Every structure is written in structure tokens, then in C-alpha cells.
Amino acid sequence: MHRGPQNLRITADGVGLTQFAGLSLFEHFFQRIGLGDALADHTRFAQRNNRYSVSEYLQALLYPPVLGLGRIETTEPLRHNGVLHYLTGLQGYLKATSLRRLLDRFAQRRRRSLVKLHDA
């Protein structure tokens, strides 16, 4: 379930924009297409850490490339960015090691389900 802002008005004059400026538009797009629900429906598997759902993990993997971060190791600043947490509805941002572990488990168990979701 999405926990981010529901009625957020976005305005900008171009002054002081950061690399995170377009994130709210992507998050709005993800909401409109129902990405979180679709990921939750198609990508279930057991995991030890239940602070984040698998769909939240997968969505968290989409943010670094959108923000221009080329590697998972460069996501550390996202863990301390309250605006990002607010806009995405995440309680926090995951550690790089957690993201890598999820990718490994996901590649082994649920790759086909994600391909089916992509094709749909």
C-alpha cells in the first residue's frame, strides 16, 4: 500500500532544483499505472526482513537510475533524504547490501514473474 502524499501540488521556477526534482513525477506515474499493486501481485516470495515488501524493494531499485545514480553503492545519500522518503512513501531507503541480496534472490526465484508482468 502506498504511503506517500496523496494531494501534492508541484510547482517550480527552476531555481534551486536538485537531481531529485523529477522524482515526484515518476512517483505519480507509478501510482497512476498501479505499479506497486502490480508488483505486489506478481512478485511474492518469502523473505526475512518484512519492514519492506518485495514490491517496495523493486520500486526502490527504480529510483537510482531515475535520479542519475549509476550504481547501487551510490544510493547511501538516499537513506538520509527525508523528502525522498515522503515522496515515495517508503519508511526509509534500503541499504545497498539489502538491495543486492534481493536482486540475487529475485533472479533465482521470480524472474519469470517479472517478465510476465512486463509483457502485460
Query: Residues 43-101: pLDDT tens digits?
Result: 776 667 677 777 888 888 888 888 888 888 888 888 888 878 887 878 888 888 888 88
pLDDT attached to residue 26? 84
pLDDT attached to residue 61? 85
16 domain residue, yes or no: no
Nearest residue to 91 via CA among 23, 30, 1: 1
Q: pTM score, two decimals?
A: 0.67
11 domain residue, yes or no: no
The parent domain of residue 28 ranges over 23-119
95 domain residue, yes or no: yes
pLDDT attached to residue 14? 65
45 domain residue, yes or no: yes
Cα dihedral 1, 96, 49, 78 in deg (nearest 10): -40
pLDDT attached to residue 109? 67
30 domain residue, yes or no: yes
104 domain residue, yes or no: yes
| 11 band by pLDDT with thresholds 50, 70 and 90 | low
- Total count of domains within the chain: 1
6 domain residue, yes or no: no
Query: Residues 98-112: pLDDT tens digits?
Result: 888 888 877 766 677
1 domain residue, yes or no: no
